[in-house]
Structure 1
Amino acid sequence: MTIGPLRAAFFDVDETLITGKSMLSFLTFHWAREGRAASRVASARAALSHQLRSGMPREQVNRAYYRLLRGSRETDLAESGRLWFAREHPRGLFHPPVREALRRHSRAGDLTVLVSGSFSACLDPIGQAVGSDLVVCTIPEVAGGTLTGELTGSPMIGRAKEEEAQRVMAAFGLRPEHCYAYGDDASDLALLTSVGNPVAVGGDPALTAHAVRANWTRLPGPALNGLLGKAA
């Protein structure tokens, strides 16, 4: 008789499991591979950064990112993702304290789940490398093998992460009070509060204040590797 997992551990990815921001790093790599001008990458970064600084909801910024990929072939993005990961992994892609936490959960037989506003081109190589059981992410809309620039469903940010975590726990018959979640930003609070064992990573002021008040476990954050506030 096979016994399923008794617990799940949910991991935000950008600046939690990895040291940087997968979406922007990937975009720079993919457009360079396509021969796009560096000025276009700089312009895209500046536009997304302005949207965040102006207070635009992260969900909208996330949607704006995927509109930049309108017309990209799904197979080309997947290949860029594999090549991007192969380049970044030796450079210290993974954040050691969180990577080790994921290893511990895996050894204990816990269900390990990556939850991110990023997408499969970036996340599939990461998930394969760490041996995660599930990857829950934003899903770009595809028509005829090409991205339309829109999304299938909602960006996997904020409340959407909580809803997916609840769905996974219900599907496996897991008790939320036994489960874990790791996140680095105030936008991860909905996910973190959906389980009994939240872990705050890094020094985001709003998240840290909540973690201190609630006496949550805390882990140090990675050295920042990127130019944009968290969009995933």
Structure 2
Amino acid sequence: MTSRVGRFRQSAAELRQSLAGEASARAASSKLRERGLDESEPSTFLESDEPGTPTDVPPDLTAAAFFDVDNTLVQGASIVHFARGLAARDYFSYRDVMEFVWAQAKFRMTGRENSEDVAQGREKALSFIAGRETDELVRLGEEIFDEFIADKIWPGTRTLAQMHLDAGQQVWLVTATPVELAQTIADRLGLTGALGTVAESVDGVFTGRLVGDILHGLGKAHAVRTLAIREGLNLKRCTAYSDSHNDVPMLSLVGTAVAINPDADLREVARVRGWEIRDYRTARKAAKIGVPTAVLLGAAGGGAAAAVRHLRR
């Protein structure tokens, strides 16, 4: 009996991902409430500021779209773009940025994250925010989005997001990026909100600890499922988009899964499961997983080249 029960027991890593997902969904729902939505009714999408967007579309209360960010909505890794912005403000060195870039390059080449790289990146990020006010990170995120991320949005993916908004559906970002930065991206694009990594804060100041863990893999699936319960969504009527095999748990939750700019493993899964595949990379061969130079530049969205020039100087 004991061994049978043991098989259903969560590992420490699974528990952290579960906590991360619940914290992310809780933060996302709270953000909606702060914006004045009626707590007695399911939350509807926030209208886009895009010109020509219909404002009289009846809300579809049970359907939503969930978009991964890195290499799905944004060219390259949003955290690398953010690090570039911090380096430009002397918060990080460009050598630190190169470490982020190299970790992302290895991930794009192999399709697998190195646990040591993840741990080092997490510790560096947490040491940066510890003791800082949450409002400071929000302000930096807004500035850095305008300078480094705005022109990195894939137009094709942006169009898909707008399609869901025009249908009256909620549109959410789901990413390992800090929730403050993810929320800024969502706000700038007129989306409903964001599910991201939640860093613990007390009285508006970061403690230097995460709630659970980085929102990733199973954590994203937990976040989407928890948010669906909170907001009255029917996951069978929802759509999810991602470029990474690591997001298969999230993609498998919804009624419609779409692979955007997929890595090799996700492309294979999509073919087997009959998921739609869309590729917005202009030079397919250059962007093919396994070509180190193209991957390195793609991982940073130009950050690698900028950092190398800076280091050479």
Distance in structure 1 (CA, Å) of the matches to 2:139 and 2:207: 18
The one-letter code sitting in structure 1 at the alignment partner of 2:94 is: A
The one-letter code sitting in structure 1 at the alignment partner of 2:298 is: N
Change (3 A) 1:21 1:40: closer
User: If the length of structure 2 is used for normalisation, what is the TM-score?
Assistant: 0.64
Give, in angstroms, the shift of residue 4 of structure 1. Answer: 5.2
Change (3 A) 1:177 1:190: same
- Per the alignment, residue 11 of structure 1 pairs with 67
1:183 aligned to which of 229, 242, 257 = 242
1:168 aligned onto 2:227: yes
- Per the alignment, residue 226 of structure 1 pairs with 299
Over 6 Å off, 4+ runs: none
The one-letter code sitting in structure 2 at the alignment partner of 1:82 is: E
2:146 aligned to which of 53, 76, 86 = 86
Change (3 A) 1:153 1:37: closer
Distance in structure 2 (CA, Å) of the matches to 1:159 and 1:25: 25
Change (3 A) 1:147 1:96: same
Give, in angstroms, the shift of residue 45 of structure 1. Answer: 4.5
Change (3 A) 1:18 1:197: same
> What does 1:46-195 align with in structure 2 at a 5 Å threshold?
46=102, 48=103, 55-56=114-115, 60=119, 63-71=122-130, 72-89=132-149, 92-143=151-202, 145-195=204-254
Give, in angstroms, the shift of residue 85 of structure 1. Answer: 1.1
- Per the alignment, residue 29 of structure 1 pairs with 85
Structure 1, unpaired ranges of 5+? none
CA contact (8 A) 2:260 2:278 kept: yes
Most deviating of 2-11 and 130-139 = 2-11
User: If the length of structure 1 is used for normalisation, what is the TM-score?
Assistant: 0.83
Count of residue pairs brought into register by the alignment: 226
CA contact (8 A) 2:175 2:196 kept: yes
Structure 2, unpaired ranges of 5+? 1-40, 42-57, 282-286, 288-296, 302-313
The one-letter code sitting in structure 1 at the alignment partner of 2:299 is: G
Q: Which structure: larger Rg?
A: 2
CA contact (8 A) 2:135 2:204 kept: yes
